[in-house]
Structure 1
């Protein structure tokens, strides 16, 4: 066996508690995710990967007026110099910047297949080409004029901008989304013209509130259009707090056909909804009978969106009713979340409102202006300094020529003779003699005068805050003219009461028969079934319940474990087959028995009784629920559930004794055990019947025949008594 060798640690082994090591490393990972991946910078609205892509493309001179180059070349430059991550993640980010249905103002002009609104992915990067758009050029304008800080790249061999100069408020113009560790961001896109108008209002009145600011910035403006149905108060709250949501609907119109028939044409779909998935969703609603008003859906889109929605019965349905039902059931209406979580100028994550975001952008633009002004001032002063030297040359041209021709050290003599600086002397000695003609002297004087005026203007600009904001305002106005575009998303109001109306209000009302078999298979047949023998069942199965109802009804199912289950009649499987097991729709226990199936009737009351002989009266509304697990109503093993349609109750015990008393002796409860219905020495409750005293009860004999209980008053007594022997042949009451 070879001897184990332990290498020296080289000072790299640190002993520390595992919890502290994990906490520190996870915190470092979380900060990296927040600052370098998920959250955009409030000043330029870019994440690091987007900023690096644009900077790399600018250095490759892929400007709007130049020819496009392969995306693979750009991706290689980005991951090789600036972004040490996977090439596919960089290309995916680049593709999104080029999609006009993802970006309100695309920053990359893509040539080739960059995906579509159906959700199809882009072609491989070796097939596509790209260049910057004018909007991207505005974002990066002035980056070579010391407008922003630079930092070392990941390998220290190059530099990258910390932030872009940002000629327009890109954060709100294009929006952003991302998920970090413990926080997320979701910012909707806006119209640049409105944002710049808001910036102008903010420059003129720094103390303006959000309500006044919204006179310029009315709300989001999504690339795919649509109709915003959020209230102004809700949008204002989102803008003030930085959190909220915006309801966005598809744009649609009615297309009239012959003979009074119509169909709906959807021309714009909500932002970030894939058209192919939307069509699949609508088709699924038709197949699952969750949208009974919708008959068919098909896609006739070319370059523009055109979805055809055909109603099942256009003569009996209003287009508004059809669309309201689909807005409730599908992604034809979505709620875009607003969470304006960004990195501020110091790199700290913050949730900012509309005013704070615009103010941060304006402060950044003023800083960029001051830095570009300082950069220009330095160069103007340097040029004026050199021109001052040339002016001295023209005043003493013969002497300068003599010194240059005869002096052993002309530079030193020029400096001593005319009191020049070293830079001026070098520039004079580097100047060609042919440039010292009279015509050049005039050009130098003109340039000197122009630069002197520019110097005075720049120095005045650096000393006047009012002039600085005026210049920022003028620059934004120039950008507004370049990027002006009409609003795509309009504002509308949802029909009153539509938001509160239940989905059942949009269901086409038709008669059906709910069929439940002995083995618990459920289905719904169209119309009424007069002859139960016509219903077919699986081999070994048989009839249990045939309940007349309508598609708008809610079906109540009572099980022996005391629970009620609620199903929508329109969602039951078709009776063309044998249906589906009820246990696939609700969480019904295997040993539980179905005791009652009925269509819900508002205002009706139910009698619930347990096998132990306890019961109570329950308002039927209390039985309704929405959960698969049902709603517990009766404590104990259920025996009877029937509507209270009468004033007297007859109970029959397993001991063969019957008792009759007024229903009024039972308490009305929402749930519980109830009170004792009949006293038993052996056994429990077998059956119960509610009837009207005027008509009298009817019971069923062993042969299944109805028999009138004429002398029922002989069994009248008080609740919880034992009763007396039932009539001969009585096996059950219903």
Structure 2
């Protein structure tokens, strides 16, 4: 028996491996498509007609059902919404909180969370809501609403709400469906109304997002909100003092918590250095970032943008539902369609009101005829209902020629329902006044219909006037300058080199220390064999034996010039060359010699500002050579491409090369421009030329608040919004200023020189009412005083004042001389007196030999130089 059971078991096991194929084509074709369609249409994507997703539309409809002017518990609203929305209460409550936080359609009461800090709202049983006045005004009108049965057939719900405003663009919206998503950014309330009016007037318009978290945004690549566009958003960071930065506005999509976490993470990774962070956010954002002493605040601001959530990128995607299908459309077209839809809804509303008024006029006229002509007496003898109807109809016939439509049986039935009391107190004059008033209203509505566009413009204008207060733009529009991460990263890693073995890296701690670097830096290395390579910072990298120079590589650096003498082959002639390295391919070896075997570098120097030293060349004693030593000045050598052969030094063997004299820069002073669009300095020729700067030259900056300072110009610098003067500083050139002293309530004039370089100083009094009127850096500035008219006196003529003659140069902290005792209306700065500037003349610029070759004439001929680092 047992053997038989074992045999059956073995047979069953042998039969099991047979495969059964189940085709799932139908599942994918029908079920999954149904699910995808449901998610797209019923959950994730808003409708273009009213800008609502189904859950949002049902919430607003439920709130209208419950509306009695008082607040309702959100839990009550959620429960009521479940009659229309076949999902859980949590999804409805979350959707309602999102609408409430946008502060447009819902008046909220209680803790609704905080979009700045990311704090969640309280439970729905603790918070309350009601429809806002604006929501009641623009969202609801049951007479022009199309209705459909709810999911269980017990109630009616709107197909779309008759929203007469570009609500979708005002609130924004995003959602992830199956196979597609949408991300429509919020726009400014007032700007949307202005754009709608422009569209109605046939004018062109442009709309850009405006975020509730404020911040700064670059919309250069917004692409009208379509796929492929990009918006860069930044927090607003300013310098509180030399060791403290303050963040007062957030980029859209972040919170104070996520922002602080990203800063701490960047600090832990060594990208930035932060001493302490304080979060003082309440109604307004205030995050204090304390820096270690000696750290540049400007560079730290750029580092925050480069390595933290202080800057982020948003990719908009305009997708909406139209006719039960997804539609990809830009925000401009969305606004056009919304505005056209509003005009159509206004027209429907007017036509309904016109019909109602005409009906009222029709019955009021019938009522007057019925009572005034005592037609009600004609029914006294009638015993049947048809007889009553016929008697009244017959009695009306002589008096209804002026009516706009025929009298129906329903009209006559309504006449029979008039009470005796009303008939007895009927006043013909009042009845006529009512009819006249209705005729005026009918005429007004017909006028609106005939001038529908003007009516729509007036409608939008009213919305702006009634609801636009306090809804001004929050997000500042600006064009961003790209932050070069390599220039602002904190170099927290130490770089070492083993010259003989040919290794560089951060782990070679027993070898020679080169300097500090970061993990995103590139390193440029030169070897005795004349090989150059650029490579990424790593723990240990082999370059080649005999390393002679290691440094951090700066891409597009045209001012670092390399001076080199090399031997061509084992016993060949020696050549001299000067070159810059602006762009190379990473981890590729570049031979700076002619490539012959045995070539070697005999002399090499790297000069950060194009310095050209003088060297002495000593030859070995051989044969009949008479001149064994002579000097070479590198300034006589043209700067060419790195692949150039160079100039012949000698065909004889060189014993050694000695440095005789350190050189000065052979490059022209660096030209610096200020790009007002991005509020940054640059050396690329964008914006206004500030001047030509040598290493010791400073930039003079004066702010409207009366702050003056001199700084070394750097492309990473940030500037205050109230900056009024920025120019190259001439140390012996006086600054002239006229200011109002708030304490003494008088105008003063002062002229002074900067006493301490690099120090920020106030040159007007710190009284809160003190105000800088004019400031000038001209040698002989002129000012015009416009006097105020005093009661009982003639206005004094304007007075021109030569400020140089008015007051001598004094200390920066001096009060100055009183300008006038008379009342002043205005002070204007006039054109200065022409004068030959007595400023010190700089030494003549050293001639640059072939510097233009760095820009391309020699470099461009080298095929390798055309490759780029990234």
- TM-score, normalization by structure 1: 0.66
What is the CA–CA distance in structure 2 between the aligned matches of 1:670 and 1:276, rounded to whole Å? 38
2:477 aligns with 491
Of 82, 86, 93, 2:88 maps to: 86
Q: Does 1:223 align with 2:212?
A: yes
1:126–1:644 Cα change, 3 Å = same
What is the CA–CA distance in structure 1 between the aligned matches of 2:408 and 2:279, rounded to whole Å? 77
2:412 aligns with 425
1:403 aligns with 379
* 1:302 CA displacement: 2.2
Contact 1:168–1:479 (Cα < 8 Å) also in 2: no
* 1:446 CA displacement: 2.0
Q: Does 1:469 align with 2:382?
A: no
Output aligned runs, 1:589-600, within 5 Å: 600=523
Contact 2:72–2:128 (Cα < 8 Å) also in 1: yes
Output aligned runs, 1:235-314, within 5 Å: 235=222, 237-238=223-224, 241=226, 243-256=228-241, 261-292=242-273, 294-313=274-293
Output aligned runs, 1:656-675, within 5 Å: none
Q: Deviations over 1:628-658 (max 9, x none)?
A: 9x99xxxxxx896552679999xxxxxxxxx
Q: Does 1:191 align with 2:188?
A: yes
Q: Deviations over 1:652-680 (max 9, x none)?
A: xxxxxxx989999xxx99879999xxxxx
Contact 2:520–2:536 (Cα < 8 Å) also in 1: no
Contact 2:496–2:512 (Cα < 8 Å) also in 1: yes
1:251–1:511 Cα change, 3 Å = closer
2:57 aligns with 51
1:429–1:238 Cα change, 3 Å = closer
Q: Deviations over 1:237-265 (max 9, x none)?
A: 335x5651211111233223xxxx44211
Residue aligned with 1:350, SS: strand
Output aligned runs, 1:7-86, within 5 Å: 18-61=24-67, 66-79=69-82, 81-86=83-88
* 1:30 CA displacement: 1.6
Q: Deviations over 1:332-370 (max 9, x none)?
A: 1122222111123x3332222233111101221122123
What is the CA–CA distance in structure 2 between the aligned matches of 1:297 and 1:548, rounded to whole Å? 33
Q: Deviations over 1:573-609 (max 9, x none)?
A: xxxxxxxxxxxxxxxxxxxxxxxxxx923xx3359xx
Contact 2:382–2:388 (Cα < 8 Å) also in 1: no
- TM-score, normalization by structure 2: 0.56
Q: Deviations over 1:415-470 (max 9, x none)?
A: 343246322222222212221245543332222222234334445655x4xx1222
What is the CA–CA distance in structure 1 between the aligned matches of 2:478 and 2:437, rounded to whole Å? 55
Contact 1:340–1:351 (Cα < 8 Å) also in 2: yes
What is the CA–CA distance in structure 2 between the aligned matches of 1:166 and 1:474, rounded to whole Å? 17
What is the CA–CA distance in structure 2 between the aligned matches of 1:194 and 1:249, rounded to whole Å? 21
What is the CA–CA distance in structure 2 between the aligned matches of 1:125 and 1:93, rounded to whole Å? 12
1:120–1:547 Cα change, 3 Å = farther
Output aligned runs, 1:281-680, within 5 Å: 281-292=262-273, 294-313=274-293, 315-317=294-296, 319-344=297-322, 346-397=323-374, 399-401=375-377, 403-404=379-380, 407=383, 409=385, 411-419=388-396, 421-437=408-424, 440-459=427-446, 462=449, 464=450, 467-484=451-468, 485-494=471-480, 498-499=481-482, 501-508=483-490, 512=494, 545-551=510-516, 553=517, 567-568=519-520, 600-601=523-524, 604-605=525-526, 619-621=532-534, 623-624=535-536, 643=547
Structure with more contact order per residue of length (Cα contacts < 8 Å, sep ≥ 6) = 1
What is the CA–CA distance in structure 2 between the aligned matches of 1:287 and 1:444, rounded to whole Å? 84
Q: Does 1:120 align with 2:82?
A: no
Residue aligned with 1:229, SS: strand
Q: Deviations over 1:483-526 (max 9, x none)?
A: 212211112343xxx51x5323113568946699xxx9x978xx
* 1:43 CA displacement: 2.8
1:587 aligns with none
Q: Does 1:159 align with 2:156?
A: yes
Contact 1:228–1:489 (Cα < 8 Å) also in 2: yes
2:177 aligns with 180
Contact 1:107–1:136 (Cα < 8 Å) also in 2: yes
Contact 1:514–1:548 (Cα < 8 Å) also in 2: yes
User: In angstroms, what is the RMSD of aligned CA positions?
Assistant: 4.0
What is the CA–CA distance in structure 2 between the aligned matches of 1:275 and 1:670, rounded to whole Å? 39
Contact 1:411–1:426 (Cα < 8 Å) also in 2: no
Unaligned runs of 5+ in 1: 1-15, 525-542, 555-566, 570-598, 608-615, 632-637, 650-658, 676-688, 696-734
With 106-115 and 271-280 compared, the bigger mean Cα shift is at 106-115
1:442–1:22 Cα change, 3 Å = same
* 1:385 CA displacement: 2.9
Residue aligned with 1:247, SS: strand
Contact 1:286–1:296 (Cα < 8 Å) also in 2: no
* 1:92 CA displacement: 0.3
Q: Deviations over 1:307-335 (max 9, x none)?
A: 0012223x451x33221110111111122
1:127–1:523 Cα change, 3 Å = farther
2:766 aligns with none
Unaligned runs of 5+ in 2: 1-21, 397-406, 550-563, 575-583, 592-597, 605-870
Residue aligned with 1:96, SS: helix
1:394–1:475 Cα change, 3 Å = same
What is the CA–CA distance in structure 2 between the aligned matches of 1:472 and 1:23, rounded to whole Å? 47
Residue aligned with 1:162, SS: strand
What is the CA–CA distance in structure 2 between the aligned matches of 1:109 and 1:39, rounded to whole Å? 25
What is the CA–CA distance in structure 1 between the aligned matches of 2:368 and 2:334, rounded to whole Å? 50
1:136 aligns with 135
Q: Deviations over 1:24-69 (max 9, x none)?
A: 222222222222211112232211111110011011115xxx2211
Number of residues paired by the alignment? 540
Contact 1:242–1:352 (Cα < 8 Å) also in 2: no
1:681 aligns with none
